[in-house]
Copies of this chain bind each other. A is one copy, B any other.
Amino acid sequence: MLLLALWRRLGRRSSAAGHVRCFSSAQALPSAEDFAARRREDALLGEIDARYPAFMVWGCNTDVGKTLVSTGMAAALLSPGKSQKSHVLYVKPVQTGFPDDSDARSVTQRIDSLVGRSESIFLSNRTMWLSDEASKKAALTKRSTDSSGSWKNSANSVKSSSSLTCETLWSWCAAVSPHLAAQQEGGGASDDELRKVLRSSLWEFGAGASQTGRSWAFVETAGGVASPAPSGTLQCDLYRPLRLPGILVGDGRLGGISTTLAAYESLLLRGYETICIVIQDMGLGNNQHLSKQLHNRVPVFVIPAVPKNPGDDLAGWFHDTSSTFVQVVSLLEDAYHKRIQRLREMPKKASELLWWPFTQHRLVPEENVTVIDSRSGEFFSVYENKHGRFAQQFDACASWWTQGPDASLQHELAKQIAYAAGRYGHVMFPENVHEPGLRCAELLLQGVGRGWAHRVYISDNGSTATEIALKMALRKYAVDHGFLTNQGDKKPDFKVLALRGSYHGDTLGAMEAQAPSPYTGFSQQPWYSGRGVFLDPPTVCCQNRKWQLRVPERYGTIATELAWDAREDVFALGRDNTELAKIYSSAIEKEIMSSQGSLGGQTIAGLIIEPIIHAAGGMELVDPLFQRILTQQCKCHKIPVIFDEVFTGCWRLGAEFGFFDERLFACKSAWELLGCKPDIACYAKLLTGGTVPLAATLATQDIFQAFEGASKLDALLHGHSYTAHPVGCSAAVTALEWFKDPSKNPNLLPGTSRLQEQWDPELVAEISSRSSVERVISLGTLMALELRSTSSSQKGYSSLLSSGVVKELRQELGIYTRPLGNVVYFMCGPLTKPSVCSSLLRRMLKVLE
């Protein structure tokens, strides 16, 4: 906001070009108001025009000739004799040393002298914003006074002429790094603003110019790839959400192989594509070595060294380089067309070759396939062929509940993953130890396992973590209750106690712990037999601004009228002394006793629950009182208790471990809140910050000891090849540390392990009062609503009731959701700003109208 105060001379147009011949463009010039509007543009709806090629121009260092390369490319595109006219946009988002240095002016002047003399060409050069100092100096030196006067709009002639539009977005006077210039002279643009304005420039240029010939844009960065932007953010991070492909200008001098490759790798690490490298020939053959190192996949072009004492216009040098730049441009054009062609064909190929999980392919026409070109933090960049654009969509399903990173954490994860892959690749784990595996275990025990867990068993995904947990629980029960020693010939029929609607994974063992559902039918899994005793849980939800308890009929009618004003009341430990607690308790006890020993040796040998939220089961909030009592009673019967926190763990519900009562500040984790500890718990999904599969099953020492013995055959004989793979463990270490670090997670409430409320309670209450909404829950990073159905066919997993809502959110409002039947949910990350969440909620309200 300080920056806004410093914002002056908004939209000032200055042309520092001495020889601006005329200005023209099919699009209207942005006015001061336009520019202000660009800065206010909705960040959720950023988009990039894909109908014309646009490239970043990067340098491996400062002073390697980026602007000359930009000029060379522009000249190749604008040079005489082209049957089709070209429109080139050159953008310098950040210029320091202005007005003495103006790369945009330099491009304009050189193109004027190289091309303009022989070709009818419309040239323009303008600077959008100048610092006070830059402005004063520009006035003094008269280098930017001949600006607006020379603009001439000749919209009719533009169709038959090529054009060069040069834009400098922000200019400072000091010839230093932009972050220092902004510190010294003020007026620094925030990253969001800078991206918005740049996106607008590209969009407006495309909208105006694309129908009148070939359009091209080059965005030239300042300094090296990792030089700071005005905000201090590295430029390679700043521009990442746009992810334009790039040209890297390398260094042909001694040491240049190293700086060029290192810069290339820094771009790679951030997910950029580098189409080619251009270097000056300093007689060292750097280009050959670079080509070899890059396995010839990135072409390296050589241009003659720039004369040390260049004349006025480097005309000779440009003449010598022109054929090379024609090649460069041809390569870029080819890369652009190949990219777009591939993006276009992807939906068809995907429909033909892929077999998507949980998808009836017949119901997914090609045009409904989403082409995800990249992700930056919470946002997808989606290619939309219909609109010829890359659209930004908020990933509101958190990619199947795995996502947590913002753009900074995503980059940090990429770095740490790269480090682990470079250091270890994968190394085997049993009887071995490596740093990421050990550190991951330590962090889990200090975090989610604090106070109860002693051992960490690492596997690949939620489903394997659950299978392992079940094996642990059943062994423990068998040991404690004498089933291993007194077994005889007849094996007991071990069952687990579980809640109807809970979900634990898709491998057979995990499915056996789930109640019958569409997932478990004969046609899906003929081997499923349902090895559980399944209870109907009471649930809670927000309806018309009230938190309402819903108790299954079997528990009697006493509690059906219960409701609370605040969500926190649902979690109050005081509820332990209510009449309802007694009802739950006796119902549960009856269930355990009646199942135990019945039906030919049936024995309840474990309890498995998803704490608080049944996720895949439709985002149901289970009454925590019920789960607390259930856990306590199983403990009394020496039935091992498994918390399946694959979904709920690692900050998903607003706290590191499961749910955290906001009023219980002393409380450190869910088991303390629940008043009971699990014996075993499973973690996955957010564990790696949403990068690669990894899972952990934590257990008490008691559980572990049930597998100790003299023989290897007593050990838990379960494992996966990539157990504790260093890449996943490093990602987990990075994410676990980041989320709980107050310097990195602005959502952390000071002194706690809890997140501030991300979903504005007032907006959530508003949604709960809409007539089309059956119920709402919000907790931690989750906000879910169930649409009210009017017929029974609109209920359940296969319901299509939500498809209209989902379609509008995706196509019109930039929100990628994936419904669960008629439940639509938004899921953000632990780092997502509440303002972004509110923006999502307001869009939902709009759709619900």
Which residues of B sit under 8 angstroms from A272, Cβ to Cβ?
422-423
A224 at the interface (CB under 8 A from B): yes
Assess the A269–B359 pair: CB atoms within 8 A. Answer: no
| A426-458 interface code vs B (CB 8 A; 1 in, 0 out) | 111111111101100110010000000011110
Task: Given A232-B289, A418-B414, decide whether A355 and B524 contact each other with a Cβ distance below 8 A.
Answer: no
Residues A691 and B426 in contact in the complex (CB < 8 Å), given A268-B418, A461-B721: yes
The contact of A259 among B224, B285, B399, by CB within 8 Å, is: B224
The chain B residue with its CB closest to the CB of A405 is: B425
13 contacts between A and B (CB under 8 A): A261-B266, A272-B423, A349-B442, A353-B456, A354-B437, A360-B707, A360-B708, A375-B427, A400-B721, A478-B526, A507-B509, A507-B510, A685-B721
- Are A523 and B262 interface neighbours, CB within 8 A? no
CB distance B357 to A460 under 8 Å?
Answer: no
Q: Scan A245-283; emit 1 where CB is below 8 A from any B CB, else 0.
A: 000000000110111011101101111100000000000
Task: Give the distance to chain B from A467, nearest Cβ to Cβ, in Å.
Answer: 5
Tell me the bound Cα distance from A842 to B609 in angstroms. Answer: 55
The answer to whether A258 and B431 touch (CB under 8 A), given A375-B423, A410-B422, is no
Contact code string A399-410 (vs B, CB < 8 Å = 1, else 0):
111110100001
Which residues of B lie under 8 Å from residue A665 when comparing CB positions?
Answer: none
Per the bound structure, the CA–CA distance linking A61 and B253 in Å amounts to: 10
Is B354 a contact of A258 with CB atoms below 8 Å?
no
Q: Cβ of A422 and Cβ of B268 under 8 Å apart?
A: yes
Neighbouring B residues of A713 by C-beta, 8 Å: 518, 521, 797-798
Task: For the A-B complex with A507-B509, A518-B717 known, give 14 more contacts whose Cβ atoms are closer than 8 Å.
Answer: A61-B259, A226-B257, A259-B262, A265-B265, A272-B423, A353-B438, A362-B708, A371-B434, A374-B423, A375-B424, A467-B507, A494-B526, A692-B728, A693-B693
Asked if A374 meets B424 with Cβ closer than 8 Å, knowing A176-B284, A271-B419, A284-B177, the reply is: yes
A492 / chain B contacts, CB cutoff of 8 Å: 526
The answer, yes or no, to whether A363 is at the interface (CB within 8 Å) is yes
Measured between beta carbons, the chain B residues less than 8 angstroms from A707 are 360-361
Name the one of B223, B257, B455, B524 contacting A228, with C-beta atoms under 8 angstroms. B257
The answer to whether A414 and B410 touch across the interface, beta carbons within 8 angstroms, is no
- State the 4 A-B residue pairs at the shortest beta-carbon distance, nearest first: A224-B258, A357-B719, A271-B423, A62-B255
Q: Which of B442, B484, B720 contacts A506 (CB 8 A)?
A: B720
Q: Is A199 part of the binding interface, using a Cβ–Cβ cutoff of 8 Å?
A: no
Task: Tell me, in angstroms, the Cα distance from A410 to B715 when the chains sit together.
Answer: 33
Judging by beta carbons under 8 Å apart, are B428 and A421 in contact? no
From B268, B433, B434, B727, give the contact of A691 (CB < 8 A): B727
Q: Is A663 interfacial (CB 8 A cutoff)?
A: no
Assess whether B257 is in contact with A259, with CB atoms less than 8 Å apart: no
Q: When chains A and B are docked, how far (Å) is the Cα of A711 from the Cα of B400?
A: 22
Query: Residues of A within 8 Å of B, CB-based: how many?
Result: 174
Set of chain B residues within 8 Å of A710, measured between Cβ atoms? 362
CB within 8 Å for A361 and B708 given contacts A261-B234, A353-B438, A425-B690 = yes
B684-A721 in contact (CB<8A) = yes
Contacting residues of chain A (508-533) with chain B, CB-CB under 8 angstroms: 508-510, 512, 518-519, 521-527, 531
Interface centre among A263, A355, A713 (most CB of B within 10 A): A355
Contact residues in B for A364 (Cβ distance below 8 Å): 431
| Cβ-based interface call for A87 (8 A) | no
CB–CB B798/A712 < 8 A: yes
User: B262 contacts A355, CB within 8 Å?
Assistant: no
Contacting residues, chain B, for A714 (C-beta < 8 A): 360, 523
Closest to A704 in B: B355
Take A60-B259, A223-B255 as given contacts and tell me if A358 and B725 are in contact as well, using a CB distance cutoff of 8 Å. no
